[in-house]
Amino acid sequence: MLIAQTLKWHFKLSAHNPTGLQFQVEDGGSLAGSIEVPGDKSMSHRSVMFGSMANGITEVSGFLEGEDALHTLQAFEQMGVKIDQLGAGNLVIHGQGIKGLHAPKEPIYHGNAGTGMRLLAGVLAGLGLPAILTGDESLSGRPMGRIVDPLKLMGANITTADNGTPPLNLHGGKQLKAIEYTTPMASAQVKSCILLAGLHAQGHTVVHEPDITRDHTERMLRGFGVDVQTNGLTASIEGGQQLKATNLTVPGDISSAAFFLVGAAMIPGSVLTINNVGLNPSRRGVVDILRLMGANIEENNPRESGGELVADLKVTGTQLKGIDVPKELVSLAIDEFPALFVAAASAQGTTVVTGAEELRVKETDRIQVMADGLRLLGVDITDTPDGARIVGGAINGGTVDSCGDHRTAMSFAMAALIAKEPITVLDCDNVATSFPGFVSLASGAGLRVSESRPSG
């Protein structure tokens, strides 16, 4: 499967001819000041899902008004939930419990949001509601067997395209039964899908994982009054529980903060504070990895919000050093590795990443996209099936293709800080899925970036 996926993305890279949004980034500079990144995307998805299933009115602040999270919001509106958008990330969700949800009359479109599709599949399967879930070209190529297999074991009638990719067709009408399941990969989306199906299944559902993954589902369900048990790498839930409305604040997304953490950490003279960043223990790997590389990152004003740890991060730039990334930190920073590849390119010495094969089945094959792009910029990088070997040193300017992946696009933009010449990043439209306003915020912090859309 991994080889086939890699070959698929090799072909896509060679056939790609982007004509959309481009970033033009001047070389050099530093980052400074005080910023706040958009709300956490993972938590934004879940806040809408759980508020919609709850009994009563849930108020959400800090909701990420990016395309991915908005697709989840629209999905629950299609299923009959009244959601008031009050601007500036504030929502009022008028939940009527699971009885207030009905089967959508039209297919639900998730755009680029794998989290939205996989978690919603668990919700719908548990409720026995029929639906068709679709997505854009990128999402339509992502593997869904990892959730379909356990859902079928629970009794769901669910099908995919012939190659195990979307659209997902949930035929509904069946009461699911609890299972005890060991996931073949470390994936919070898979774990969450099974737990959400188990929430409305008969019996006690148990999920075992091979490694630590983010636990936003478990934490937020508890905030909505659901008893979720966790013990090491095992999470379990009793079916038939009801959600109770609550109010919650979504902290800044550490995945979005990662670009600025890397940008400031690798440039001596940079002093940047990123306020209100979520530091969930299952998500903070990027901070710990950068510190192992010698980064100076302070955690100030630590506090708790909605069951999540939050702090203000002050980054003082320095010369980073190459490391062998500890395998136990890989799953805690899986979405941040495109940015960490750039940090490695700036470091003295060699950085080795292993155990990160999950990067090959994200919005793109992120190992391949980052390796090909950094290689074009003169970086000595060797990609491997589960990671990369990156030798830090001089980086040139040039034109690189993000292949429509928001995280690779923003990572390449930050690479201009250590480049000798300007960098142009192609195919950046999907940055809006997770980080609306990236160019404006980055410009204010000192990155000399602009955007354009070529005519024709």
Superfamily of domain 2-38+251-452: Enolpyruvate transferase domain (3.65.10.10)
Cα–Cα distance list, 39 to 90, 252, 254, 312, 433 (Å): 11, 4, 9, 14, 12
Residues 132-166: tens digit of each pLDDT: 999 999 999 999 999 999 999 999 999 999 999 99
Per domain, the residue ranges of the chain are: 2-38+251-452, 41-249
Query: What pLDDT score was predicted for residue 264?
Result: 98
- Residue 95 tokens read as 């939940």
Catalytic residue positions? 335
- Residues contacting 7, CB < 8 A, separation 6+: none
| Arch. (CATH architecture) of 41-249 | Alpha-beta prism (3.65)
Question: Which region holds residue 102: left if phi is over 0, alpha if psi is between -120 and 50, else beta?
Answer: beta
Cα–Cα distance list, 25 to 31, 404, 416, 437 (Å): 14, 17, 6, 16
Query: What pLDDT score was predicted for residue 19?
Result: 59
Are 282 and 214 in contact by the 8 Å Cβ rule? The answer is yes
Are 241 and 224 in contact by the 8 Å Cβ rule? The answer is no
Cα–Cα distance list, 45 to 238, 316, 384, 401 (Å): 22, 32, 32, 28
Q: Which residues of the chain are under the pLDDT cut of 50?
A: 1-17
Query: What pLDDT score was predicted for residue 4?
Result: 35
Report phi then psi at 406, rounded to 5.
-60, -40
Report phi then psi at 187, rounded to 5.
-150, 115
Instruction: Note whether 2-38+251-452 and 41-249 share their fold.
Output: yes
The pTM of the full predicted model, rounded to 2 decimals, is 0.87
ω into 167 cis (within 30 of 0): yes
